[in-house]
Amino acid sequence: MIPRLLEARVMEALRDRPVVLITGPRQSGKTTLARSIPGYACVTLDSLAALDAARSDPEGFVAGLPDRTVIDEVQRTPGLFLAIKAAVDRDRTPGRFLLTGSTSATAMPRAADALVGRMELLTLWPLSLREIEGGSGSVCDRLFEAQTPWTDHEQETGDLAGTISRGGYPEPLAWEPRRRAAWIRDYVATVVQRDIRDLSDIAGLTAIPRLLSLLASRSGNLLNVSDIARSLGLPYATLSRYLALLQAVYLWSPVASWSVNLGSRVVKAPKVALCDTGLACGVLGLDADQLRAGTMLGPLLENLAVMELRKDAAWSRTRPDLYHYRDDAGREVDIILEGPGGQVVGVEVKASARVTPRDTAGLRHLAERLGDRFVRGVVLYAGATTVPFAANIHAVPVSTLWRS
């Protein structure tokens, strides 16, 4: 088992909250992490017997559980949340319930309503590259340090196409590409037929995989719902619903637009990002060789950086929010990290091994407009050395995201 860097935050939450809910994509390692916490019994609602008992008598089911219990795939029985609330209100001992779920909390409104103030919510994504490499620490925390974290830094980037196409799902991580691609196809089919159907009894499920492939092909681009609806022949409202369902089951994870008054109009559309670049390559039918030869390396490298920073933020001390920035004058920054007190780090992503001053234009725009709020700008690129462009703007090897 590869150690998960989120584990320390899970243990911290269990020390003072009666309920902790870990959500994230199916097969991201939630159950493995929960079962590794000592002193907990585990019941899974993937078991038909447990599921029937929980649905038929939620209060009795919860009353019969041991003092510290993991309830796996809790989203399958929404009625449990009120029963857990009642149990917690009688006894608020920290760490009573550790829940896992494969749909987002926004898709489980009963959880949010019933357990507000009683529950800590954490998200476990597929393995980060830092975890795969056996590293520790947080790159988000380093980005917000007062002193420049990288000087005279040299680090080989390695095989970017191989890293992107491999992804981070634990089970197929070490498999050969052909078998990993087959796993991705089965994974998507299972999530569509099971989790999405559980959330919403919809017709036309065959459109969902086609939509996912189209989203993957537009990684790093602004989301244009009308254009995608025309491409798929779907009504706008239907497509919007499908997008919400795909987000709820963690197949895609849009990057919201960052809104701040910088004296110009800001484009409000989110940018497209799938939750895992291996998933993106799988639904597009791309292996590492095809990725190197085609046009998707740059967009999927940006997708990789988005998700690596999103994963890192979950266990960091800083806990920054993640956005993108683009205004109507065409100035843009791929990733905005906004930390406590409104401090901002801007991140650009380039698949090239060469960076020019033009590549830092968006970062310099932010620095001029934000003043002291702008901590630094970083261009993550495919080169091996750190290159300074200003006191607080540097080009840094993209592998800095995952290597110490």
Give the rounded percent of residues in the chain with a pLDDT score beyond 90: 81
Report which residue type is found at 340.
P
Give the C-alpha separation, 227 to 372, whole Å.
Answer: 39
pTM of the model: 0.94
Q: Which of 188, 404, 201 is nearest to 312 (CA)?
A: 404
pLDDT at residue number 370: 93
pLDDT band at 78 (very low <50, low <70, confident <90, very high): confident
pLDDT at residue number 256: 96
The residue-averaged pLDDT of 58-77 equals 94
pLDDT at residue number 128: 97
3-state secondary structure the chain: CCCCCCHHHHHHHHCCCCEEEEECCCCCCHHHHHHHCCCCEEEECCCHHHHHHHHHCHHHHHHCCCCCEEEECHHHCCCHHHHHHHHHHHCCCCCCEEEEECCCHHHCHHHHHHCCCCEEEEECCCCCHHHHCCCCCCHHHHHCCCCCCCCCCECCCCCHHHHHHHCCCCCCCCCCHHHHHHHHHHHHHHHHHHHHHHHCCCCCCCHHHHHHHHHHHCCCCECCHHHHHHHHCCCHHHHHHHHHHHHHCCCECCECECCCCCCCCECCCCECCECCHHHHHHHHCCCHHHHHHCCCHHHHHHHHHHHHHHHHHHHCCCCCEEEEEEECCCCEEEEEEECHHHCEEEEEECCCCCCCHHHHHHHHHHHHHHHHHEEEEEEEECCCECEEEECCEEEEEHHHHCCC
Do 211 and 283 form a contact (C-beta atoms < 8 A)? no
The domains of the chain are located at: 7-123, 129-401
Give the C-alpha separation, 114 to 236, whole Å.
Answer: 33
Residues 296-355: tens digit of each pLDDT:
999 999 999 999 999 999 999 999 999 999 988 889 999 999 998 899 999 999 999 999
The residue-averaged pLDDT of 378-400 equals 94
Going by their DSSP bridges, the two strands 374-381 and 41-44 should be labelled as unpaired
pLDDT at 112 over 80: no
Count CB neighbours of 173 within 10 A: 15
Give the C-alpha separation, 151 to 396, whole Å.
Answer: 9
Q: Which of 92-101, 145-154, 277-286 has the lowest mean pLDDT?
A: 145-154
The residue-averaged pLDDT of 60-64 equals 95
Residues 6+ apart with CB under 8 A from 66: 41
pLDDT at residue number 266: 73
Give the C-alpha separation, 41 to 48, whole Å.
Answer: 18
Do 331 and 341 form a contact (C-beta atoms < 8 A)? no
Residues 191-236: tens digit of each pLDDT:
988 888 777 766 667 889 999 999 999 999 999 999 999 999 999 9
Domain 7-123 carries which CATH code? 3.40.50.300
Give the C-alpha separation, 70 to 100, whole Å.
Answer: 8
The residue-averaged pLDDT of 236-241 equals 92
Residue-wise burial string across 78-101, b where 16 or more C-beta atoms lie within 10 A, e elsewhere:
bebbbbbbebbeeeeeebbbbbbb
Count CB neighbours of 117 within 10 A: 7
56-65: long-range contacts, CB 8 A cutoff, minimum separation 24: 58/82, 58/83, 59/83, 59/86, 62/86, 62/87, 63/87, 65/41
The residue-averaged pLDDT of 266-283 equals 94
Place of tokens 């954490």: 122
pLDDT at 263 over 60: no
